[in-house]
Chain A
Amino acid sequence: MDWRRDASRREFLKRCLTGGAIVAVSGRVPPLAQPGTAAGKSRVVIGRDPMLRTNGTTIDAGRILSVLDRTMQALFQSDNAIEPWKKLVYSGERVGLKVNTLGGRGLSTNLPLVEAICERLQQAGVRASDIVVWDRDTDELERAGFHFSTAGNRVQCFGTDRAGYEEELVTYGNVGSRLSKILSQHCDVLINVPVLKDHDGAGITAALKNMYGVIHNPNKYHPNGCNPYIADVNMLPEIRRKMGLTICDAITASYEGGPGYKPQYAWKENALIVSQDPVALDYTGWQIIERKRAEKGLKTLEADGRAPHYIATAADDKHRLGTNDPKKIATVEV
């Protein structure tokens, strides 16, 4: 059985013995097999709200929570806003929200979105102190509007610069890296909260590329359009085992000049893209960026010599991180 976080056989048996069959009783949702999805299809939900920004700049907290609820409920086929989160996180588990803050305040994971996720997680029974919002660097987090916090009773927020990297190398394919201790020691479930952006090397960056912020040496994995490195990084066992969900922030996205923030190439898509299949999500995000590039009269990424080939690699037989076949992706707009 292909579980969401590659639960070990022992864990699987233990849960079966204590709580009955997982699918039948606990409802933990494995990726690529969400309830209600046609067999073999990966569900990607895009939630939009053109009125997300009250005055054109500030994100309305109530509206972002509403969009989040709609997308999560559509993804998990639930009529309850809290239920999806309970399917994602077991009681007592610690949750890491891996954000992306390279783009400063202009093009980073938006704080109101993260606050909304934290609110729903807590309502689903996760203690505030068991949630850690993190990225590579604390300064970058703060520049993006997050506040450093290690207080015992609050949501934690700090960078790997404050926690360090594991001493041991982990390897897969062409990648050999040390993992952030935040991933290895501070969280049981990983919720990936990247930003939809153009990327000068990889073509685009969304779900899969955001895992470069988990390893100590991302600079080594940018040649050749980051291919096959992005796929290989996502195959590292700790990442693969803990990855639960991607909530891609496409409230502001970029179609050129990324991954840094360049206002002239950013646009307000006012959307969230949510999936448990990071490959399908990246494929979907790529199409959104291509549409915007066409609208702006720019060449396709392929014609620009930087098509995101890493997406196909992530879907190949060696990686099987998800699907990039549009026929096997069920895109739902809410």
Chain B
Amino acid sequence: MKFEMLPELASATASANLTSEHVPFSSPLDRRSFLKCALASGTALSICDLAHPLIAVPTASALPKQDDSRFRVEARFYHKLQNRKIKCKLCPRECTVGDKERGYCGVRENHGGTYYTLVHSRVCAAHIDPIEKKPLFHYLPGTLAFSLATAGCNVNCKFCQNWDISQVRPEQAPADYAPPKLVTELARQHGCPTIAYTYSEPVVFSEFLMDTADAGHEAGIRSVVVSNGYMQEDALKAAYGKMDAVKIDLKAFSESYYKDVVVGELKPVLDALLTLRKMGKWTEIVYLVVPTLNDSDSEFRDLARWIKRNLGTDVPVHFTQFHPEYLLKNLPITPVPTLERAKAIADAEGLHYVYLGNVPGHPAENTYCPKCHGMLVERLGLTAKQMLIRKGSCPFCGQQIPGVWHV
């Protein structure tokens, strides 16, 4: 089964086997919620249908055709043009799409001048993950997220870890029909306080994301999104306005990298970060450090300075380790000293919460108080081992620690 384990899921699964002795929470509320989720995690991950796509259909000769009609819903962000063409207004690419054609993302199709998403409720990957895996480090640490994806993406990163779902058309990715209420119910049943839209690129399944977020909120379940932020402002406000937290992959700090490696643009992503800031949305940033391509001191420094100047010093920034995948198999894994150099530069520029990712056991996985430097959240890989923040503050010096800390 193709999507049994997304590449990064093996470690997530292992580290999600949380037990009560790992959870010396000081807050009774935190401890209770943490235990609840830890127990739910063990249960959920033993259920095979949650470690797999909800239904997987192997490709074989003379397969019956999938019934696509139930996944087809009119898109919300587009303009109609002459000659049955449309202009997509979802992402900055603004594809002009003729009749019976699809946009760059491959999951939106023009039928007679009406644009449709083909992936509403078409879930090709669903897992229960620690929220740390997104990664969101300042959002309900130690809790679980019911994480899902549809096929498709609006860029084409040469290093994509999940290219076999992000860089395919929906009919090429085994999927199941999982409408918003079912997703919400599954999240509730498995003790997940949050639904996460992740793995591929949620921009391209915005309609499904919005409807699921609404259904979740009605049932008291939150939503977070893991996104490249390559989105038009109106669409971003409408879709991510419904999110309780956002993680943006800022893939580099140069237009040339975005053009050559991502097949996108940097500026709209920076604009999206500014918009999220204005919206008051809790946002964390991930920067995948790719050896030789986006790992210079000057790029790290420019990035840190831009964040400080435009978003403030409290935005968590995660420098994560690259592994060779997809179309970038010729480069080595990012050396840990390179990641440490990135952190040192960002720290020196004054950012308060700079983390390293994909390096389990590194002290830079932990959260420290920027004032007294006491350790507030201890993490090992994707497991939050200890969480000492009380009412959003450092228990040692009272410094307020930004984030969403309590369920």
Contact = CB atoms under 8 A, between A and B. Distances in A.
Interface string B79-107: 00001110000000000101111111110
Interface string B52-70: 0000000111110100000
A171 interface: yes
B62 A216 contact: no
Given A164-B63, A259-B98, A169 B106 contact: no
B65 A138 contact: yes
B169 interface: yes
Contacts of A150: 61-62
B105 A164 contact: no
Contact of A223 (B63, B98, B101, B104): B104
Contact of B326 (A161, A162, A169, A260): A169
B172 interface: yes
B6 interface: no
Given A219-B102, A219-B169, A164 B59 contact: yes
Interface of B: 59-63, 65, 83-85, 96, 98-106, 156, 158, 163, 167-169, 171-172, 263, 326-327
B59 A165 contact: yes
A204 to B, nearest CB: 14
A57 B286 CA distance: 60
A161 B327 contact: no
A257 interface: yes
Nearest to B109: A219
A133 to B, nearest CB: 15
Given A219-B104, A220-B156, A222-B104, A162 B63 contact: yes
A165 B59 CA distance: 8
A150 B65 CA distance: 15
Contacts of B84: 260
Contact of B104 (A158, A163, A220): A220
A106 to B, nearest CB: 12
Most buried by A among B62, B96, B103, B105: B62
B65 A200 contact: no
Contacts of A262: 83
Interface string A249-290: 000000001111010000000000000000000000000000
7 contacts: A150-B61, A164-B63, A169-B326, A176-B327, A200-B85, A220-B104, A223-B263
A139 interface: yes
Contacts of B102: 219
Contacts of A176: 158, 326-327
A303 B101 CA distance: 24
A183 to B, nearest CB: 14
A150 B63 CA distance: 11
A262 B167 CA distance: 30
**Max chain B C-beta neighbours (<10 A), residue from A162, A219, A220, A223:** A219
A217 interface: yes
Interface residues of A, number: 26
Contact of A260 (B99, B103, B169, B172): B99
A217 B168 contact: yes
Interface in A163-179: 163-165, 169, 171, 176
B351 to A, nearest CB: 35
A162 B62 contact: yes
Contact of A216 (B61, B96, B169): B169
A169 B327 CA distance: 9
Given A219-B169, A257-B83, A161 B63 contact: yes
Contacts of B101: 259-260
A334 B221 CA distance: 71
Nearest to A148: B62
A207 interface: no
Given A169-B327, A220-B104, A260-B99, A162 B65 contact: yes
A190 interface: no
A200 B101 CA distance: 11
A229 to B, nearest CB: 11
A102 B100 contact: yes
Nearest to A262: B83
Interface in A216-245: 216-217, 219-220, 222-223
A26 to B, nearest CB: 32
B165 to A, nearest CB: 12
B326 to A, nearest CB: 7
Which residue among B61, B96, B168, B263 has the maximum number of chain A CB atoms within 10 Å of its CB?
B61
B61 A163 contact: yes
A200 B84 CA distance: 13
Nearest to A103: B100
